Amino acid sequence: MTSPVTYETEGEIALIRIDNPPVNAAGQAVRAGLEQALARFAEGPEKIAVLYAGGRTFIAGADITEFGKPPQPPGLPQVCDLLEAQEKPMVCVIHGTALGGGLEVALGCHYRVMLQGARVGLPEVTLGILPGAGGTQRLPRLIGLLPAAEIITSARQVPAAEALELGIVDALSAEEPRAAGLAFARDLLAQGAGPRRIGEMPNPEVDADGVAALREKVARANPGQVAQLTALDAAVRGAPMTLPEGLNEERRLFMTLMDSPQRGALIHAFFGERKVAQLPELKGVQPRPLAQIGVIGGGTMGGGIAAACLLSGLSVVLIERDAEAVARARAGIEKTLAGSVKRGKLKAEKRDTLLVDMLVTSEDYAALGQADLIIEAVFESMEVKKEVFAQLDAVAKPGAVLATNTSYLDVNEIAASINRPADVLGLHFFSPAHIMRLLEIVDADKTAPEVLATGFALAKALKKVPVRAGVCDGFIGNRILRVFRLSADHMVLAGASPYQIDRALTGFGFAMGPYAVADLAGLDIGYMTRQRLRPIKDPRERWGEWPDRLHEMGRLGRKTGRGYYIYDDETPNGRPDPEVDQMIAAERAAQGITPRDFSDEEIIERYMAAMINEAAKVVGEGIARRPLDVDMVFLFGYGFPRWRGGPLYYADHIGLDRVLSTIQQAAQDDAWFWQPAPLLQKLVDEGRGFDSLNG
């Protein structure tokens, strides 16, 4: 096998080049190749060496696929030490992104040149680990403890100009990597410069107050997570040590994180995010073009979808019902884009171009004649949706993809109502649509493969995480949501309080508990769902009536100042309401329920069991392709803590037999609600986990 590392000479300069597509990850072959190249350089007549990479980026880090497997020598820390130990100067050229082990390799070198537009960073904490090849030791020695610790704990990518200013790199270049390296090396030769080792630089100063303030900030920003604070410890502890001592301490802490369950969960999330977009049936299927997007309805979702498309450079034609609604929709989009400008995500001039040249708003459906893909986001009513689709059938050009953003309605029924059902699919965005990364792509019975592929292509253009879903009430996410929400309402009737449930679940790692979320979204959403399902509800299914009473009292959540919580100037983020407790107590009394105590552990156990059980049904029925698809839905659409990997990853982690026994125990209270999913039962019988189905 040819090595991914090659060696050539140009006069007195050695050029060491890495080619390991797609992202030049520092896998075993790269590390061994570097070791060999360095041996040749050490013995050869060349006076200076340039290390650079081919392809789209410098090293993007250690090879993550090697994690959890027996280590293959040489290790990356050894390679970095070897680079640093060279007796002749080593120059590194950074293009694309030098991340994690990539930046650590660069820090092992004596000089660094960075191409304009490139970025550097240490994103290890997002994978539940810390920079383990010298990053926590060399970066603080190079740029100071606090700036380095901020980069390490935030995992942010530092742009070239800032990297130069901070002193991470010595120069910027507008040339290609090879030419940039040669030019810099020639200058060094002319100056007679020798090696310049970070390991020989003075120890960084420790500003104890600054460290304490950073620690507090990092802890607040990453509740429940271990990697960020451990990485900070590595940098702080190593600061007064010699480099070898510091590297040992870094290694020791690195190994503790390698063994932590959070590492496994975060790496599952990293690969899941990429794998979820890969469907075997779409291999080689060409998506249809996507230049102009039509949006019907400019309310919460239509406006957000239009903004998302504009922000990704797609032109948009938006249709509303009348002139007034058109004006309201345009104003809404303007406000969203103004927010992007304010947050520094969009330049003001670019915003103006988008609004003038890329957005057409109209009340005339004929304006949709050239749209390649049209997304309907009108009221959640089958009748209204069918009317809209009939009009689309009349005006859309042949081959246009016709999508519905429905939350619950039957996409097959919508498709069957027009003459081109193969062009129809569901594109279920989440609110706010220009921010939330999840996009459920609903594959209806007659959806053509290239139409499905076009849905995935749109997701890619919008930088969303696309998850294929089959047709059912609520698709993947909302179907499962309904069930675990009910489990929470059941616990409330049995004796828990909504506030205790929210507290227990934020303690678990959710950004918000279910009742706080409901207040944010509006209690009308749950009310309308219950109204819709009431006629078809099985008489054995138990619902609390008190949430409907809240709705009838006009308590719609944050927007009315009262919902499950009270929101006012004193408590803008809500405070418990004794009146709600009284309503619950009254319903318990009416139903003859004697309330009992719930521990936070039991709340989490039941809530998660309800979520996992319905998720297993969703996978078993083929609504979700793989368990990882469900995990991605929850990570990117429902605020599930990423460091727990998603509900089915978490289920494997705690053990499926334990989940099943929670379900069986809860079934003693309500056998109708707690019917074990056949797939869960089967996996337990076979002693397998959900991961065995991820392929």
Which residue, 438 or 612, has its beta carbon nearer to ligand NAI? 438
- The C-alpha angle 229, 608, 600, rounded to 5 degrees, equals 70
Among 74, 299, 507, 509, contact with ligand NAI (rule: CB under 6 A): 299
Residue 64 binding result from ligand 3HC, ligand NAI, none, given CB thresholds of 5 to 8 Å by partner type: ligand 3HC
Residue 20 binding result from ligand 3HC, ligand NAI, none, given CB thresholds of 5 to 8 Å by partner type: none
- Encoding tokens for residue 640? 């599930």
- Is 124 noted as a catalytic residue in this protein? yes
Which residue, 67 or 527, has its beta carbon nearer to ligand 3HC? 67
Site for ligand NAI contains 319 (CB under 6 A):
yes
Are the C-beta atoms of residues 198 and 169 closer than 8 Å to each other?
Answer: no
Among 27, 108, 302, 466, contact with ligand NAI (rule: CB under 6 A): 302
For 497-519, give the secondary structure using H, E and C: CHHHHHHHHHHHCCCCCHHHHHH
- Tell which positions 148-207 bind ligand NAI, by CB under 6 A: none
Which residue, 168 or 451, has its beta carbon nearer to ligand 3HC? 168
Minimum distance, C-beta of residue 122 to ligand 3HC, in the bound complex (Å):
7
Residue 379 binding result from ligand NAI, ligand 3HC, none, given CB thresholds of 5 to 8 Å by partner type: ligand NAI
Minimum distance, C-beta of residue 563 to ligand NAI, in the bound complex (Å):
16
DSSP, collapsed to helix, strand or coil, labels residue 669 as coil
Minimum distance, C-beta of residue 435 to ligand NAI, in the bound complex (Å):
12
Task: Single out the catalytic residue among 46, 84, 104, 249.
Answer: 104
Minimum distance, C-beta of residue 633 to ligand NAI, in the bound complex (Å):
13
Q: CA 55, 59, 64, 70 torsion: positive or negative?
A: positive
User: What is the residue type of 134?
Assistant: G
Among 217, 252, 274, 321, contact with ligand NAI (rule: CB under 6 A): 321
Minimum distance, C-beta of residue 382 to ligand NAI, in the bound complex (Å):
10
Task: Single out the catalytic residue among 84, 124, 440, 605.
Answer: 124
Residue 507 binding result from ligand NAI, ligand 3HC, none, given CB thresholds of 5 to 8 Å by partner type: none
Beta-bridge partner residues of 287: none
Minimum distance, C-beta of residue 458 to ligand 3HC, in the bound complex (Å):
17
Which residue, 263 or 428, has its beta carbon nearer to ligand NAI? 428
Residue nearest to ligand NAI (CB): 299
- Can you tell me the distance from the alpha carbon of 403 to that of 401, in angstroms, rounded to the nearest whole number? 6
- Encoding tokens for residue 299? 């309310």
Sorted by sequence, the CB contacts under 8 Å of residue 431 that are 6+ apart come out as 300, 301, 304, 521
Are the C-beta atoms of residues 155 and 131 closer than 8 Å to each other?
Answer: no
Residue 35 burial class via C-beta count within 10 angstroms: exposed 0-12, middle 13-18, buried 19 and up: middle
Which residue, 428 or 468, has its beta carbon nearer to ligand NAI? 428
How far from chain centre, in Å, is Cα 26? 24
Choices 216-224, 274-282, 294-302, 571-579; region in contact with ligand NAI by CB under 6 A: 294-302
- Is 35 noted as a catalytic residue in this protein? no
Which residue, 100 or 513, has its beta carbon nearer to ligand 3HC? 100
Minimum distance, C-beta of residue 671 to ligand NAI, in the bound complex (Å):
32
Residue 321 binding result from ligand NAI, ligand 3HC, none, given CB thresholds of 5 to 8 Å by partner type: ligand NAI
Binding site residues, ligand 3HC, CB under 6 A: 22-23, 25, 57, 60-65, 76, 97, 99-101, 104, 123-124, 127, 131-133, 135, 274
DSSP letter for 263, please: H
Minimum distance, C-beta of residue 61 to ligand 3HC, in the bound complex (Å):
2
SS3 of the chain: helix, strand, coil, percent, to 5: 55, 10, 35
- Tell which positions 355-414 bind ligand NAI, by CB under 6 A: 377-380, 384, 388, 405-407
Q: CA 219, 225, 230, 235 torsion: positive or negative?
A: negative
Minimum distance, C-beta of residue 365 to ligand NAI, in the bound complex (Å):
8
Residue 234 binding result from ligand 3HC, ligand NAI, none, given CB thresholds of 5 to 8 Å by partner type: none
Sorted by sequence, the CB contacts under 8 Å of residue 37 that are 6+ apart come out as 5, 6, 7, 14, 16
Minimum distance, C-beta of residue 469 to ligand 3HC, in the bound complex (Å):
21
Site for ligand NAI contains 335 (CB under 6 A):
no
Residue 627 binding result from ligand 3HC, ligand NAI, none, given CB thresholds of 5 to 8 Å by partner type: none
Residue 99 binding result from ligand 3HC, ligand NAI, none, given CB thresholds of 5 to 8 Å by partner type: ligand 3HC
Among candidate residues 640, 430, 591, 415, the one with its CA nearest the CA of residue 525: 430
Long-range contacts of 555-561 (CB under 8 A, 24+ apart): 555/523, 556/522, 556/523, 556/524, 557/518, 557/519, 557/520, 557/521, 557/522, 557/523, 558/519, 558/520, 558/522, 559/522
- Can you tell me the distance from the alpha carbon of 220 to that of 46, in angstroms, rounded to the nearest whole number? 51
Which residue, 225 or 478, has its beta carbon nearer to ligand NAI? 478
Are the C-beta atoms of residues 42 and 87 closer than 8 Å to each other?
Answer: yes
Which residue, 139 or 301, has its beta carbon nearer to ligand NAI? 301
Are the C-beta atoms of residues 307 and 333 closer than 8 Å to each other?
Answer: yes
- Encoding tokens for residue 328? 């309201």
* Concatenated DSSP letters of 504-566: HHHHHT-SS-HHHHHHHH-HHHHHHHHHHHGGG--TT----SHHHHHHHTT--BGGGTBSSEE
Which residue, 298 or 470, has its beta carbon nearer to ligand NAI? 298
User: Which residues here bind ligand NAI, judged by CB under 6 A?
Assistant: 296-302, 319-321, 325, 377-380, 384, 388, 405-407, 428-431
Catalytic residue ranges: 104, 124
